[in-house]
Amino acid sequence: MAGSSMNMVFDDIQGLARYAHGKLSATSFLLLDVADATAARAWLLSAPVTTAVPVSPLPETALQVAFTAAGLRALDVDDAIIEGFSDEFIVGIAADQSRSRRLGDTEGSAPGNWAWGGQAGDVPHLLLMLYAIPGKLDHWQTTVQGTDFEQAFRLRQELPTHSLGAIEPFGFVDGISQPDIDWEHKQTTNLHERDRYANLLVPGEVLLGYPNEYGRYTERPLIDPVDDPRASILPAAEDDPGVRDFGRNGSYLVLRQLHQEVPKFWQFVDREAGSDALERDRLASLMVGRQRDGTPLIPSSGDPVSNRFTFEHDPDGHQCPVGAHIRRSNPRNGDFPPGVTGLVSRLIRILGFGRNHPREDLVASTRFHRILRRGRTYGSLLTPEDAVKPGAPEEDRGLQFICLVANISRQFEFVQNAWSMNTKFAGVHDESDPLLGDRKPLVDGSATDGFAIPREEGPVHCLHGLPRFVTVRGGAYFFMPGIQALHYIAGQESVQRGAEA
Ligand code: HEM
């Protein structure tokens, strides 16, 4: 196959796994249901889905497609294949109360209040993502949809998207820190521990069918070609060449529509800052962990994207509060605390001795919990200066949060639950993520609406009574297949018919 690097086959991978399509700032995200399975498969078979093969000059349009478990069923994919996916994908993001509680999807964010995806009948079958340079989207949409589209699909909803340039609605530059996917296989997965934080991540943390950071293959549907000769169009499983890999080069895609109350955010911070604009900016940047222009609060070593830093030399959070959004969502630690290198000190650490600092060892190693973010914003721009004015319009603004992972529970759900929503994180308590927290008091009545700002020069400065700034409006777990798996899904009936003829 063309476009391979070592054993990566970029023409079998959807482009979104490798590129954020940042230049293609006009988007249309369509939630669709299958209206006619035969017509839908025929459309999918010829859909111009964008692959991860680099193109020069950069393309002016892109198309990606992903399916829920309900969508795969509607396209007549065998139950045996669907059962090969992880439970959380099959069950879905909203069907189980305990999952909703763990994700912080309660009260205003409870699935029952979602605009889409919250109830069994509300789960869309597929997500079609169209991207284009400004001015080209309508034409691209007409080209992509062609003539049979309306017969094949029912439009459930077009999700709002609107580019604010590089910033998200609260006004901070977003999309800076991403794991660096090791497409060239520079790093071995045989290493079972890594002392230091590294940003390089094996492809198996984003794509199915490759070794993950544990050196293992994540569970996925595998098909014996003896049972299903059509499966021979799929790649062989790397770890079991006798069977075909339906998951290979595919990725789970988590989509959550997150409504952001921009005036509420800035008016709260403004009150805490005594209406001092500089102090307001400072407090808000401590909540995020970066300044509005993206500059990290920890000095970063001359890297153009300001991402080469860890929190190793700021254990108490004097520079970047331990509970800041970026520190909770990526604590940037290695498998062992700094200084633990030799076999003996590792053993001491594994047995739970030799801790120098109460926070050490409490936070899991980051490399097993990375996510590749691909979200887009919606709603109009409201600057902090305008947002603090009385009566500032509380319009519909937010983030279509999207991330790609190979394991939804170990990556997205872990970050959301164990790090963002957790009211006990790395020694901080009575607070959860300052941007995302649901602020619900715990069962024992203790508050979760604080935010601690440790200071070198004095006692910790605590903000209290943070309101909820972000509410979930919809969401679903999708699978974004590799191109061959897409063709398998799309081509099955025609092959079946051929076999019958
Ligand atoms: C409306 C909701 C959200 C807003 C406004 C927001 C905003 C931001 C901003 C401004 C940054 C810093 C810029 C950057 O490094 O890209 C950031 C980083 C990040 N966010 Fe969020 N975010 C939101 C939701 C989420 C959610 C739901 C998750 C995951 C469950 C998440 C995970 C991350 C991660 C992993 C990083 C990078 C951290 C790092 O590696 O330093 N964010 N976010």
Residue 64 bridge partners (DSSP)? 129
Instruction: Give the model's pLDDT for residue 365.
Output: 84
Q: Whose CA is nearest to atom 33 of ligand 1?
A: 329
Q: Whose CA is nearest to atom 30 of ligand 1?
A: 416
The full DSSP string for 103-119 is: HT--GGGSGGG-SBSSS
Q: Whose CA is nearest to atom 8 of ligand 1?
A: 174
Residue in this structure with the two tokens 């999807």, named with its chain if needed: 105
pTM: predicted TM-score of the whole model, two decimal places: 0.93
Is-cis flag, bond preceding 321, omega within 30?
Answer: no
Ligand 1 atom nearest residue 416's Cα: 30
User: Residue 81 in contact with residue 246, Cβ under 8 Å?
Assistant: yes
Cα of 242 from ligand 1 centre, angstroms:
41
Distance CA 402, CA 257 (A): 9
Of the candidates 44, 31, 69, 28, the one whose C-alpha atom is nearest the C-alpha of residue 152 is 44
* Binding-site residues, ligand 1, Cβ < 6 A: 168, 170, 172, 174-177, 258, 260, 288, 290, 325-326, 329-330, 371, 398-399, 401, 415-416, 420, 435-436, 470
Cα of 354 from ligand 1 centre, angstroms:
33
Q: Whose CA is nearest to atom 11 of ligand 1?
A: 174
Instruction: Give the model's pLDDT for residue 333.
Output: 87
Which H or E run includes 317? none
β-bridge pairing 200-201 and 222-223: unpaired
Cα of 165 from ligand 1 centre, angstroms:
16
User: Residue 41 in contact with residue 33, Cβ under 8 Å?
Assistant: no
Cα of 329 from ligand 1 centre, angstroms:
7
Of the candidates 377, 166, 173, 169, the one whose C-alpha atom is nearest the C-alpha of residue 263 is 169
Distance CA 11, CA 66 (A): 17
Ligand 1 atom nearest residue 178's Cα: 40
Tell me the best of 328, 401, 415, 470 to mutate to test the pocket of ligand 1, counting ligand atoms within 8 Å of each CB and taking the most.
Answer: 401
Ligand 1 atom nearest residue 398's Cα: 1
Residues of the chain with pLDDT under 70: 1-7, 188-195, 302-305, 336-364, 493-501
Cα of 397 from ligand 1 centre, angstroms:
16
SS3 of residue 4 by DSSP: strand
Q: Whose CA is nearest to atom 42 of ligand 1?
A: 329
Is-cis flag, bond preceding 57, omega within 30?
Answer: yes
Q: Measured between alpha carbons, how far is residue 401 from residues 95, 256, 263, 371, 398 in Å?
A: 19, 5, 20, 12, 9
Ligand 1 atom nearest residue 326's Cα: 38
Cα of 328 from ligand 1 centre, angstroms:
9
Tell me the best of 105, 177, 328 to mutate to test the pocket of ligand 1, counting ligand atoms within 8 Å of each CB and taking the most.
Answer: 177
| Structure tokens, 450 | 């604080």
Cα of 257 from ligand 1 centre, angstroms:
14
Instruction: Give the model's pLDDT for residue 496.
Output: 46
Angle at 414 between CA 412 and CA 416, to 5 degrees: 70
Instruction: Give the model's pLDDT for residue 351.
Output: 54
Tell me the best of 174, 281, 368 to mutate to test the pocket of ligand 1, counting ligand atoms within 8 Å of each CB and taking the most.
Answer: 174
Tell me the best of 170, 367, 436, 477 to mutate to test the pocket of ligand 1, counting ligand atoms within 8 Å of each CB and taking the most.
Answer: 436
Cα of 247 from ligand 1 centre, angstroms:
27
Instruction: Give the model's pLDDT for residue 350.
Output: 53
Cα of 366 from ligand 1 centre, angstroms:
15
Cα of 375 from ligand 1 centre, angstroms:
10
User: Residue 128 in contact with residue 63, Cβ under 8 Å?
Assistant: yes
Cα of 178 from ligand 1 centre, angstroms:
10
Cα of 42 from ligand 1 centre, angstroms:
38
Q: Whose CA is nearest to atom 34 of ligand 1?
A: 329
